[in-house]
Amino acid sequence: MSSSGIFAVTTPDSSPSEKAGSAGSPRVPRRRRWWLVGASLGLVAASTVATVMVVSAAWEREPMLLLARDVAWGQPVTGADVTTVELPPSARRFVVADADRGRVVGQVAAGNLRAGQLLSHGDVMAQRVPAVGQQVIGVRLPQGRFPARGLFPNDPVEVVTLSTTGAAAETVPSGSGFRARVVQVSPPDAEGAIVADLLIADSLAEQASAAATSGALVTLLGPSS
């Protein structure tokens, strides 16, 4: 207890046990957990790298092949028929990359290819038209002897040879029809007639020649015909 002047102010003295406790318990410095700091920095770095990789992949592009003009079925694909467009690398599963241009240029169209469509490996084939055992023959067809929709490459058709009886009466001989596939068609002439190049088997050469000479009627067949 302590006093000052006239008035005495009583202040409690620290107990001996408290003093002993304070004097006998030295302060322990806090230990830094450096492994936690290192782990946190590692996670931040990994997250940053992953983000950069995702963004880079999203923006990465490479040239792919695009049809610059129409290529009819059976016709060879030339370097002038294709151009390039920038697409993600994942498009390689469906589209021919420009790096593989040499694998498709020089092959023939497996279908009617249209300008502006992406070129896939399934759009071309190595087999030439005509192949071994086939021929291509041209048949002139006046108006009314072919469908009004016209004929297009790769159309399956039946060709019926006509014979002339009397002045101008055309009849269809029995068993004169044969099947063919259209390769290409000329523009209509002044009379509206077209010339259709037809792909036939060698065994049908005689019938096809008769159709080209005497005239023919062409009908369009369905896909499963």
- Give the start-to-end residue ranges of the domains of the chain: 35-127, 134-220
Q: How far apart are CA 216 and CA 162, in angstroms?
A: 5
Amino acid at 189: D
Mean pLDDT within 24-30: 57
Cβ proximity of 177 and 128 under 8 Å: no
What predicted TM-score, i.e. pTM, was given to this entire model? 0.59
Q: Which of 68, 155, 136 is nearest to 105 (CA)?
A: 68
Cβ proximity of 2 and 11 under 8 Å: yes
What does the DSSP assignment read for 156-199? EEEEEE-EEETTTEEE--TT-EEEEEEEEEPPP-TTS-EEEEEE
- What was the pLDDT predicted at 38? 67
Write the DSSP symbol of residue 111.
S
Q: Which of 65, 67, 62 is nearest to 102 (CA)?
A: 65
Cβ proximity of 158 and 182 under 8 Å: no
pLDDT digits (tens, 9 = 90+) for 138-182: 999 999 999 999 999 999 999 998 876 533 345 555 556 899 999
The rounded Cα 120 to chain-centroid distance in angstroms is: 5
pLDDT digits (tens, 9 = 90+) for 31-54: 556 666 667 777 777 777 666 565
Plot region of 150 (φ>0 → left; ψ -120 to 50 → alpha; else → beta): left
Distances, alpha carbon 99 to alpha carbons 6, 63, 70, 120, in Å: 106, 8, 22, 13
Q: Does domain 35-127 fall into CATH 3.90.1210.10? A: yes
Phi, psi dihedral angles at 164 (to 5 degrees): -105, 130
Cβ proximity of 90 and 63 under 8 Å: no
Higher model confidence: residue 183 or residue 41?
A: 183
Among 42-56, 71-85, 113-127, 171-185, where is mean pLDDT lowest?
A: 42-56
